[in-house]
Amino acid sequence: MKLTLILDAAPTGVRASLVEEWDEIGRTAKMAPCLRLFDTEEQALAWGRRLASRRGLKQLFLTDNRKSAGGGVAQSDPIGER
């Protein structure tokens, strides 16, 4: 199982999407993303870590689309519990 937290710019704060993926025979399945708005990036990361912990996962993948707004490439990095 893999959890990916996607951060997007919002008019106020940060829009966070959490996507859960898992392997099935012959393919990868994905759930519909959970969406929430947060005031800060730290709140969004804490939410993602809390949901990963509930699923027994130690690692959460982060894609920060806010950094790509200026024409750069979006980052996807694994983040562990801190």
Q: What is the pLDDT of residues 56-72, one digit of tens each?
A: 988 999 999 987 555 44
SS3 37: strand
Confidence of residue 13 (pLDDT cuts 50, 70, 90): very high
Number of domains in the chain: 1
What integer is the mean pLDDT of 12-36?
Answer: 88
The confidence score (pLDDT) of residue 31 equals: 84
Query: Average model confidence (pLDDT) for the chain?
Result: 84
pTM for the whole structure: 0.74
Q: For residue 10, what are its two tokens?
A: 């919002």
61 contacts 78 by C-beta, under 8 angstroms: yes
φ, ψ for residue 28 (rounded to 5)? -110, 130
Q: What domain range includes position 62?
A: 2-80
Q: For residue 49, what are its two tokens?
A: 């870590």
